[in-house]
């Protein structure tokens, strides 16, 4: 089992950030390595395909929205897991990824960690551009 955890500080409105992160079309490519395509079958159900190292993979999942948490539960041909995005306070987001396949987790952890580090460094700009795109 892999667990990757990251706290990300933002100057953006945390409720807007949570709304954006509740959209899997935004969140999944930000977190998972090598996502090539993602489609939302319904606003809370998605399918994605990606390539990571030499492995192609497919992911299907569902988004559950709470008051201060977005939970994305997914199944893939490389293991299953849960992605938690929590509002810790008015300017801190906590992202936790738990993945159950040992080999994929071992290989993927540095890439997921790298994606989260990049997200943490650029969160305000990424969210600013996404707000412009969505007009929110």
Question: What predicted TM-score, i.e. pTM, was given to this entire model?
Answer: 0.92
Alpha carbon distances (Å) from 98 to 16, 50, 87, 91? 24, 18, 18, 23
Handedness of CA 134, 33, 49, 41 (dihedral sign): negative
Q: In this structure, what CATH number is given to the domain that contains residue 9?
A: 3.30.530.20
Position 2 confidence tier, pLDDT thresholds 50, 70, 90: confident
**Count of the separate structural domains present in the chain:** 1
Residue-wise pLDDT tens digits, 41-61? 998 999 999 998 888 999 999
Please check whether residue 57 is in contact with residue 50, taking contact to mean a CB–CB distance below 8 angstroms.
yes
Residue-wise pLDDT tens digits, 79-100? 899 999 999 999 999 999 999 9
- Domain around 84: 2-134
Query: Rounded distance, CA 81 to CA 135, Å?
Result: 32
């Amino acid at each position: 089992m892999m667990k990757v955890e990251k706290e990300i500080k933002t100057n953006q409105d945390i409720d807007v950030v949570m709304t954006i992160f509740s959209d899997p079309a935004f969140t999944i490519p930000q977190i998972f390595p090598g996502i090539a395509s993602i489609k939302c079958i319904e606003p809370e159900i998605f399918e994605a395909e990606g390539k990571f190292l030499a492995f192609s993979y497919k992911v299907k999942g569902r988004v559950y929205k709470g008051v201060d948490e977005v939970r994305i539960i997914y199944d893939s041909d490389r293991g299953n897991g849960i992605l938690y995005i929590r509002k810790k306070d008015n300017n801190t987001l906590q992202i936790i990824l738990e993945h159950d396949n040992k080999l994929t987790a071992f290989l993927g952890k540095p890439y997921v960690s790298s994606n989260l580090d990049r997200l943490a460094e650029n969160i305000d700009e990424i969210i600013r551009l996404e707000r412009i795109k969505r007009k929110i």
